C-alpha cells in the first residue's frame, strides 16, 4: 500500500517535460479515518468534498498555440483516495506541452486521470469561484478577537470543546488562525475555518483554543477537517454541522475540504482573500 512518504513530497523531482498521468499519487483515506475511529466499510458520518482551485493550468491547442486558464476540481469525500497535492501540481504541469483539439478534450482527459487516481468521479470546470465578501458580507462571526491565554499548540485537544445544553442556536463561526503542518515535509499549512451548526451553543473560547491546538500538528488538510468535524460532533452534539477549511495557495493550488452532516447542502463555493 502506498504511503505519503512514497510520494514526491519532500523530494527533488524533475519538472515534467511531457504529459504523464502516472505522476498523480493517491493516498488511501482508510488509514487516517481508522485513527479517527471510523471503521472501514461503515457508512461515513459526513458528506463532503475536497475542492481544489488551480491557478496555473496550461496546454497547447491543436495548432500548437499555448493556452492558459484557471480551473476548479472537486474530489468527493467518499472516494477511497485523496490526491496528494504535489503530485497534482506536477501532473497539471505535465499538460503544458500536450496538444488538445478542444477545451472539452482537455477537460475529459483531466477528469479521466483524476477520477482514476481518486477512485471516484471527479468534477472539473474551467474558472474559479468568486471571492468571498468578508466577515461583513455573511461570512460568519470571527472568533479571532477573543482575548484568552493560549499555551497548547499540539496535538489537537478536543477537551477544549464544550457546548451549553440549555440553549439551541443556529450559528456561523469562523477563524483565520488554523495552522497545521505537512506530515511529510513539515511545511506550514494555513487556513480559514468556516463552521456552521445548529444545536447547543458552542463555547467560543474553547473552540478557538481547540483550533489553535492544531498549530504544530502534522496531518493532511483533508484529514484535519475530518478531525475537526468529528471532534465537534462528539463533544458538542450539534443537530447539524458543517466544517469547511479554505487553505492558502501553494504551488499554484489551494484546497478547500468540506465535511457536513449527511443530507446537508454544501456551502457556497467561495475563495478567501488569502487565497
Q: Name the residues annotated as catalytic.
A: 182, 189
Quote the CA–CA distance of 229 and 226 in Å, as a whole number.
Answer: 5
Provide the 3-class DSSP secondary structure of residue 63.
coil
Nearest to 244 by CA among 160, 150, 161, 132: 132
Nearest to 117 by CA among 70, 76, 58: 76
Angle (CA) 158-160-161 rounded to 5° is 75
Angle of helix 204-212 relative to helix 221-236, nearest 10 degrees? 150
The grid coordinates listed for 105 are 478534450
CB atoms within 10 A of CB 65: 9
Q: Cis omega (within 30 of 0) on the bond before 155?
A: yes
Amino acid at each position: 500500500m502506498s504511503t505519503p512518504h512514497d510520494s514526491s513530497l519532500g523530494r527533488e523531482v524533475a519538472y515534467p517535460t511531457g504529459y504523464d498521468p502516472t505522476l498523480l499519487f493517491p493516498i488511501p483515506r482508510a488509514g487516517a479515518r481508522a485513527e479517527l475511529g471510523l471503521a472501514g466499510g461503515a457508512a461515513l458520518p459526513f458528506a463532503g468534498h475536497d475542492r481544489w482551485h488551480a491557478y496555473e493550468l496550461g496546454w497547447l491547442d491543436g495548432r500548437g498555440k499555448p493556452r492558459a486558464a484557471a480551473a476548479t476540481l472537486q474530489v468527493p469525500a467518499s472516494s477511497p483516495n485523496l490526491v496528494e497535492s504535489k503530485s497534482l501540481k506536477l501532473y497539471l504541469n505535465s499538460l503544458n506541452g500536450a496538444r488538445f483539439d478542444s477545451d472539452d478534450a482537455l477537460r475529459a482527459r483531466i477528469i479521466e486521470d483524476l477520477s482514476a487516481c481518486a477512485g471516484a468521479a471527479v468534477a472539473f470546470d474551467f474558472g474559479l469561484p468568486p471571492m468571498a465578501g468578508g466577515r461583513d458580507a455573511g461570512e460568519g462571526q470571527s472568533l479571532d478577537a477573543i482575548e484568552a491565554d493560549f499555551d497548547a499548540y499540539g496535538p489537537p485537544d478536543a477537551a477544549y470543546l464544550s457546548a451549553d445544553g440549555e440553549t439551541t442556536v443556529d450559528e456561523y463561526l469562523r477563524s483565520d488562525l488554523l495552522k497545521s503542518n505537512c506530515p511529510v515535509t513539515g511545511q506550514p499549512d494555513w487556513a480559514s475555518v468556516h463552521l456552521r451548526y445548529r444545536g447547543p451553543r458552542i463555547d467560543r473560547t474553547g473552540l478557538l483554543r481547540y483550533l489553535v491546538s492544531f498549530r504544530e500538528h502534522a496531518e493532511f488538510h483533508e484529514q484535519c477537517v475530518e478531525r475537526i468535524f468529528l471532534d465537534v460532533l462528539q463533544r458538542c452534539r450539534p443537530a447539524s454541522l458543517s466544517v469547511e477549511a479554505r487553505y492558502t495557495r501553494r504551488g499554484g493550488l489551494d484546497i478547500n475540504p468540506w465535511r457536513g452532516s449527511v443530507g446537508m447542502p454544501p456551502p457556497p463555493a467561495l475563495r478567501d482573500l488569502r487565497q
